[in-house]
Structure 1
Amino acid sequence: MSNEEKEEKKIDIKTLVSIIPPASALKGSKAPPKEKRVKIRKRTDVDKGYAIISSKLAKELSISDALEVSVKGKRLKLKAILQEGVPELEIWANPEDMVTLGIEDNSTITVRAAK
């Protein structure tokens, strides 16, 4: 085997390797989360049946008008009020709604868009 044949084989291998896409391209885009675990805070200025959620979190979870809060197998559907200035990992709810779920202030819950 001459040197020219070895170089030709090396070139062929490099050409083949250049065809393989990087791992990041194979992984693809990540789907947005369907639900998220956040803290729920007690607020007396929120009406019963409503919850105040940050606009950014609502957009991330595709929440437009209603959300579902669940904890320990219990679920509660609330109307969403989108608002700036609410911490992203918090939801503000009426104390009566929180009693319905059997939770206290600053409890961790799961939130998702209502079906």
Structure 2
Amino acid sequence: MIVMSSNENEKEEEKKVDIKTLVSVIPPASALKGNKAPPKEKRIKIRKRNDVDKGFAIISSKLAKDLGITDNIEISVKGKRIRLKAILQEGIPELEVWANPQDLVTLGIEDNSTVTARAYK
């Protein structure tokens, strides 16, 4: 039969206290989630619309707010970029941008292609 001395019991309790203090340093998941920065760019679908003027793009107000777009939007695909004047409207799908077909020819993309959109600075 093994008998533990009171000295050994105290050492075990000290180890448990050390682990608890280490764990208390780690912040809860909810605290980490609050520090998330807004996205700088987003992958979206671009649609050809003949009623959009050349050099302009119609974008959802919510998407523009999320990306920080106020005046101009930059569309990029396969390393090519084009800057368009942004027109903010309600009622447009959030993950779509409407542009003139002639502007899309310069990028070499077709209707309903996936592109990257960001605010032009």
Instruction: Specify the TM-score bucket, using the shorter chain as the normaliser.
Output: 0.7 to 0.9
The alignment status of 1:78 with 2:84, answered yes or no, reads: yes
Q: Structure 1: which amino acid aligns with 2:21?
A: L
Query: Which residue of the other structure, out of 44, 66, 72, is the alignment partner of 1:66?
Result: 72
1:99, distance to aligned residue in structure 2 (A): 1.0
CA RMSD of aligned residues (A): 2.5
1:30, distance to aligned residue in structure 2 (A): 1.3
Runs of 4+ deviating beyond 4 Å: 8-15
CA distance in 2, matches of 1:68, 1:114: 5
Q: Structure 1: which amino acid aligns with 2:87?
A: I
Change (3 A) 1:52 1:28: same
Q: TM-score when scaled to structure 2? A: 0.79
CA distance in 2, matches of 1:97, 1:38: 16
State the match for 2:60 in structure 1: 54
Q: TM-score when scaled to structure 1? A: 0.83
Percent of paired sites with the same residue: 68
- Give the length in aligned residue pairs: 115
Q: Unmatched 5+ residue regions in structure 1?
A: none
Change (3 A) 1:10 1:72: closer
CA distance in 2, matches of 1:106, 1:11: 59
State the match for 1:16 in structure 2: 21
| Secondary structure of 1:97's aligned partner | helix
Larger Rg: 2
State the match for 2:108 in structure 1: 102
1:74, distance to aligned residue in structure 2 (A): 1.0
Q: Unmatched 5+ residue regions in structure 2?
A: 1-5
CA distance in 2, matches of 1:9, 1:71: 59
CA distance in 1, matches of 2:19, 2:108: 63
Change (3 A) 1:83 1:23: same
CA distance in 1, matches of 2:22, 2:33: 18
